Amino acid sequence: MTSTLAELVAHFGGELVGDGDVSIRQVAPLDRAAADEIGFVSQSKYLSQLADTRAGAVILPADARDATGLPRILTANPYLYFARVSALLNPPPRPPAGIHPAATVAPDAEVAADASIAAGAVIGSGARIGARSVIGPNCVVGDRARIGADCLLHANVTLYHRCEVGDRAILHSGCVVGADGFGFAPDEGRWEKIPQIGRVLVGDDVEIGACTTIDRGALEDTVIEEGVKLDNLIQVAHNVTIGAHTAIAACTGIAGSTRIGRHCTIGGAAMIFGHIEIADGTRISTNTLITKSLPRAGTYTSALPFSEHEVWQKNAVHMRNLDKLVNRVKQLEKRLNELEGKS
C-alpha cells in the first residue's frame, strides 16, 4: 500500500513541511532509500546523512526543521513515528477465517467464527479461541486454554492446558507457555516430581519471542502482565511475575518466584535469582547477575568488559587472591593504629 505525506500526518499527527502530495510506498534507511520511500533521523549526529539520501521524504525532530530541503514530517519522537508509518505500510498477512481441514479441533472447543486455525493445529477440549485470532500451523492449544481476540500464534507454538492469553498478543514460533516448572523433592538420592498445578496468565498486548519458555506455577500462577515484551530464548521459571510494559532481551534467565516490576528493561543474557523482587522502572544491563532484591529503581550492572586473554589471566589471579590481600591490609591497618597509639 502507499500513502501521501498529508495522509500520514492526518493519521499520526506531526507537522508537515513541503509537498504533502509526495507518495510513500515503503520505509527505508537513509543510505538506501529511494524516491518513493521515507527515512528518519532521531539523533542530531545522523543529520549529516541527509545530504546524500535519495529518500522522497524524511521524519525529523522538531528542532531539525532546516536540516534538509526534502519534504519532511517534524515530530517529538521520530523513531516512534517511523515505527507507526512502517506498521501502516506493512500490515501483517492474514490468512482466511475458518478451520483448515487438516486441523484437529475438539468438539467442545469454542472457536470464533472469524478466527483462523491452520493446518496441523490442535485445539484441545474446552479451549477457547477469540475473535479474529490466528493459530498458525502445528500449534497446540491445550485443554481449557484460553486465547483472546486479535492474537497471532506463529507456527509451532505450544500453549499448555488451562493457560490463558489476553487480547492482541503475539507468540512467535517455538515458544512454549505452560510447561512444568522445575520442581523436584529429594528422596534418598533420588528426585520425586512435584506436580505443577498453577497456570500461566499472559496479559493483553504481550509479545513472546521465538523459543522462549514460560513455566506454569507450582501452586499459584506465573503471571505476565499487559504490554510485556519478551525476546527470543528467554527462560521464565514457575511463579514468576513480570510487571506491565517490562521489556526483556534474549537469553535472559529468571529463576522461580521472582517478582519483576513494571516498566523495567533487562538486557540480554542477564541472570536473575529466584525469590527476589525488582522495583518498578529498574534497568538491568546485559550479562548482569542479580542475586538479591532491588528495592530501588536504578541501573544495575555486573558484567566485566572483555580484555586480551593474557591480561584477563593476570586479573583472574588477582581476583583469586583478593581475600588474602584484604586480610593483609587489615593487619597493616591494625599495626599502623598500634604504632600511632604509641607515638
Residues carrying an active site annotation: 238
Distance of CA 273 to the CA centre of its chain: 19
Residue 56 half-sphere exposure toward CB, CA atoms < 13 A: 18
Burial bucket for residue 149 (CB in 10 Å: 0-12, 13-18, 19+) = middle
| CA-based nearest residue to 123, from 101, 102, 139 | 139
H or E element at residue 341: helix 322-342
Q: What's 238's DSSP letter?
A: T
How many CB atoms are closer than 10 A to CB 290? 21
H or E element at residue 17: strand 15-17
C-alpha span between 301 and 288 (Å, rounded):
6
Single-letter amino acid, residue 192 = E
Angle at 111 between CA 106 and CA 116, to 5 degrees: 110
Contacts of 247 (CB under 8 A, 6+ apart): 228, 229, 230, 264, 265, 266
